[in-house]
Structure 1
Amino acid sequence: MISKVGQVMVYVHDQDAVLEFWTEKLGFTVMADEQQDGMRWIEIAPHKDAETSIVLHDKDFIAKLDTGLNLDTPSLLFYTDNFEPLHHELIEQGVTVGEIVEMPTGRTFNFADPEDNYFAVREMA
């Protein structure tokens, strides 16, 4: 049985620009930046002890491998107990940020990376 989500793969056209977004705008930490046989992958996480990380892959390189993968952005939902300050901070940093929306599961907002991939944040009570 699956015990946890280990990594989420995000396929992007410009790894460096997206890496800068996650580290500079959201404060993520680079766990690894590896290259082998022409393939580069960058593992990032909210902090060094996080159980789940995001791996940024070069979309064009992966497409050439013809693995049959769906290279569209996965839907990621992040949790925070610092909801309104995070929303305000992202806006101040020039990130594309959606309005706060009341959902049956709690307050949520979306934000976009430099390639217009959208992600969601939910308030943890």
Structure 2
Amino acid sequence: MNADFEKKFFKELRAILKKNDFLKLNTSNYFYNNSHIQCMFNIQKSKYSKQYYFNLYAKKTSPNISPKEISWGADLILRLENLFPKYSFLIKGINFDENKDKQNYFDFLDLLDTYFLIEIKKLTNIETFENYINMQQV
């Protein structure tokens, strides 16, 4: 795949995050804020290839703390494909070294916009967050 397509993909991904109220903190981290939970959507590039991983970190915080002030010892750390296992084939498929059908990349962006981010925002409800943490500990 060419570099122009990769740039276009990440430009669209960042526009979707912004549209869904994820605030840009630096070049690769995005936060969604509410009164109890901070969520960070992180884009992680492999050291060995053009494979990308999408991570979600969530932490119970005070409403008065800025994302820049948080020490990210998160209460919850997940790869996006583990949070949405039904779509792991699509999420794990973001590898710009391979000549895959470009439609897979657009399908991922569409799901990010219409489903993944909506579900991630539900984790910022304190009861939902605590229930999810408890389920992970079982």
For Structure 1 versus Structure 2, the TM-score category normalised by the shorter chain is under 0.3
TM-score (norm 2): 0.24
Which structure: greater helix fraction?
2
